A and B are shown apart, each in its own frame.
Chain A
Amino acid sequence: MIRKRNKYFACFFLVALLLSGCGSSFEKSETLSEVLEAKPEGIKALYFYPSTMRMLMDIIGTEKVGALEGIKEARLIFQWNDVNTNFDSYASDIESGILTEDFESLIEMNASGTDVKIFIRESKVPVYIVFYSDGEYDFILEAVGELSDEAIKELASADMGGLIELFSAGNQSEFIEDENANQNDNGGN
């Protein structure tokens, strides 16, 4: 009887464990999620998961993206420079929104027409949000995970436009991926 109960308990424990692994356990920005759910016209979003990061390192090489190794998940929101959207307005709204979510400013920099702002929300797993604008590319990057100091430097200075182009090669049409579908595909990493 006890052995049978233990068996049920083990099954229950296993199911609970699996369920807890489904869906994202990371506390991403609600403000960003709301903006993406509204599917704004002309705005594209890419989602990065541990598997995506591994793939990136395999394809591009760790020397280029190795500094981002600590990122568990990321969302990259951007527009093409030839697409007329209200990206500045979205960025401004998102910046105001994340400040109400306990994000704090780390760095703000404006140099030669390039604007970079980095915010952090410290929690069990820290969340970083980077606003980048250089006249050619505008993007907002949310990175969940432990970032090395090297990674923050990368975020502040890297050619993120190259990363956007890499991911969007051959796909110039607007797309917003289904985040939930991705999470399920990735088994809730």
Chain B
Amino acid sequence: MKWIFQIIAFSGLVFGPMGVSAQDAIDRYFESFASDPDFTSIVISSKMFELFTKIDVDEPEGKRVKDAISGLKGIRILAYESEEGTSKTANFNSAIKKIGSDYELLMSVNDKSDKVRFFIREEGDTIAELFMVVGGDQNLFLMSLVGDIDLEKMSELSKSMDVGGMNYLKNLDDPKKK
């Protein structure tokens, strides 16, 4: 069940979604940088999640992951990490500026090396998209999760993974950081 995230490990970073109705920040970045070899881009479609839900799992952890994933319709990730001394072609501040008014800031975390911002886009009473921006001096990480987003499940999901930017999702159920 964890293989989906292991694919990300293969690329050295993490991944991303589909099905966003309006052109959002990550769309704009995808247009500009998805074909740039300095960026890692990953798109996982709704079909993949549909297949996940058909897999039989026995272990409790697998069931938790399956439960968390079942609400997702897509994940899309765009990541950039520059080597020291090279010029940055993308940065945290410009990414934040590109986020549309449909998105509401949910949580911000500033740690030693990275700034993290979680945004949500609501449709009616549900969260239709969770968008995360992580930026440091030499790196930028954008992740968009689309579907019927349950923040508690996303937090649980991140605890089952030990991958790149996913760890920041653990903060979603930490009220001190909200």
Do these two chains interact?
yes
Q: Is A105 at the interface (CB under 8 A from chain B)? A: yes
**B12 A104 Cβ-Cβ under 8 A:** no
Q: Which of A5-13, A151-159, A165-173, A179-187 contacts B (4 or more CB under 8 A)?
A: A151-159
With A and B bound together, what is the CA distance between A153 and B91 in angstroms?
A: 31
Q: Is A16 at the interface (CB under 8 A from chain B)? A: no
Q: Is A106 at the interface (CB under 8 A from chain B)? A: yes
Known: A104-B47, A107-B48, A156-B10. A112 touches B37 (CB 8 A): yes
Q: Which of B1-9, B137-145, B166-174 contacts A (4 or more CB under 8 A)?
A: B1-9
User: Which residue on chain A has the smallest CB distance to residue B1?
Assistant: A149
Q: Is A33 at the interface (CB under 8 A from chain B)? A: no
| Chain A: interface size category | 10 to 19
Known: A110-B35, A112-B37. A157 touches B10 (CB 8 A): yes
Interface residues of A (CB under 8 A from B): 104-114, 120, 149-150, 152-153, 156-157
Q: Can you list 30 A-B contacts (CB < 8 A)?
A: A105-B18, A105-B45, A106-B45, A106-B51, A107-B7, A107-B48, A108-B42, A109-B11, A109-B40, A109-B41, A110-B34, A110-B39, A110-B41, A110-B42, A111-B12, A111-B13, A111-B40, A111-B41, A111-B42, A112-B37, A112-B40, A114-B11, A120-B51, A149-B1, A149-B3, A149-B55, A150-B3, A153-B10, A156-B7, A157-B7
